[in-house]
Amino acid sequence: MEYSEYVRHDALGLARLVAERQIQPSELLALARGRLDEVNPSLNAVIRRMDTIADARAAEQVDGAFAGVPFLIKDLFQDYAGVPSSNGNAALKRTGDTPQAHAEITRRFIASGVNIFGKTNTPEFGSKGVTEPQAFGATRNPWNTSHTPGGSSGGSAAAVAAGVVPMAGANDGGGSIRIPAACCGLFGLKPGRARVPGGPARSDLMHGAAVDHVVTRSVRDSAAMLDAVAGYEQGAIVRLTEPESGYLAGLDTPPPKLRIGVLDTSPLGIPLHEQAHAALDTTTRLLESLGHGVERAAPAIDGLQLGRDFLSMWFVQMAMQVDAVRARTGAAADEFELDTRAMAHVGRAFSATEYVTAFERWRGYRHALAEFHAEYDLLLTPTLANPPSRIGESATPRWQQIALRPLLSLPSGRVLIRSGIVDQIARDNLKHVPFTQLANLTGVPAMSVPLHMTPDGLPMGSQFVGAPSSEALLLRLGAQLEEAAPWFQRLPTIDNR
């Protein structure tokens, strides 16, 4: 098989060729590696190779829906026993922090039959919507290498968009599947809370707001992988019912005519880029041509307060991450990025009462969204408020870095909280991606669908937010949209503009 044929197949298509003995897993692995060798110097998508493990796997008799298909996992929360996990951090990169057991999501990936041959780049501890860690350098967008592939699953999205693999591991605590999918022209489904295992080390991370899955080029690959990885894990607080026929089989039935509410303004009150409006227009016209009803409507939620509450939780998580790494590795302060140290410093300053009060407001967001879904099947928003930003555009300004350093030496981060910096960070960090956190805090599934390209040739996704346990409906709509406006064969010509 030539690479030109390899890239024409999705993961299920490649697995079928293996099952029919038209190609060997070792041949597929060689094609994926060859493509990685070609594009990774430009993209910096994969930061750790697992060649010995992959060679051994290719020689085994493997079962599963994706038997023999090359695959990449994210270097964050998708631990592989015996392979260092760096989480985008310099201290973990230096020490080679090595887990002794697979994460449950990794174990289920393996059980699906995929052949894991590398780990993808991520921002430090997954803390940003761009993938530019100081420890490993920036990952670049295959559609234009001057721009970001998004984050935090930016390495995975860049590798899939560049045709290295048809799908790759990703996770999403505030948009980290949907944002890079939108930036790279891919399909990205964030499953709902507890749909996919997060353990054993990080079960119910961020009260279930963070979940694992994949970024893919086809909807059916996402559905089939959800069939493979979804389901109860020991110790989980809930057991969700799965569709009787399965997610992949459900794609054979088109969705019913849906009533869809459209949010076309930023929850933060910041004007949207004209291309965000254009992406919504493209999607709305397509939905209406398929018989769905679309009208302006949105849940009654204070978007800025939701942003504050999301970041409060995020900052506390950063404090926990930093403290755990320091305790385990003896890392020095300068082995953490300045932004990470600032977030952790603020996180440590929140009182237990403030933390619980913020968490209690999540319940209000769930009720408001449930009221919306009582009238509308889905909420439609842009995935991104702007086209993918340029590399370095989201970096903390030099003056702000200088101002932060003395504040970090203070014994408490209360000064930072009183200064109003949380509101400022909410606006600065979320202004490009203000729509995705709602699904995380409310625990509902959501997807980004690649239906629009800007005049400059950059992808822009559209996000659909469903009600609880609506993964099957989202996937059925995704498949209908993919059939009506195919995107699978749309591939970038990688450049270095």
List active site positions: 74, 152, 176
Helices 11-19 and 25-43, packing angle to 10 deg: 150
In this structure, the number of other CB atoms found within 10 A of the CB of residue 37 comes to: 10
The torsion angles phi and psi of 450, rounded to 5 degrees, stand at: -90, 85
Q: Are the CB atoms for 152 and 122 separated by under 8 Å?
A: yes
Cα 178 to Cα 435: distance, rounded to the nearest angstrom:
10
Q: Starting at the earlier edge strand, list the strands of the sheet with 115-120.
A: 46-49, 115-120, 70-74
> Is residue 240 packed enough to be buried (19+ CB in 10 Å), middle (13-18) or exposed (0-12)?
middle
Nearest to 97 by CA among 105, 86, 106: 86
Nearest to 263 by CA among 145, 132, 414, 434: 434
In this structure, the number of other CB atoms found within 10 A of the CB of residue 281 comes to: 12
- Give the dihedral sign, CA 162/64/483/370: negative
- Element spanning 220, H or E: helix 219-229
Cα 85 to Cα 279: distance, rounded to the nearest angstrom:
37
Cα 2 to Cα 329: distance, rounded to the nearest angstrom:
45
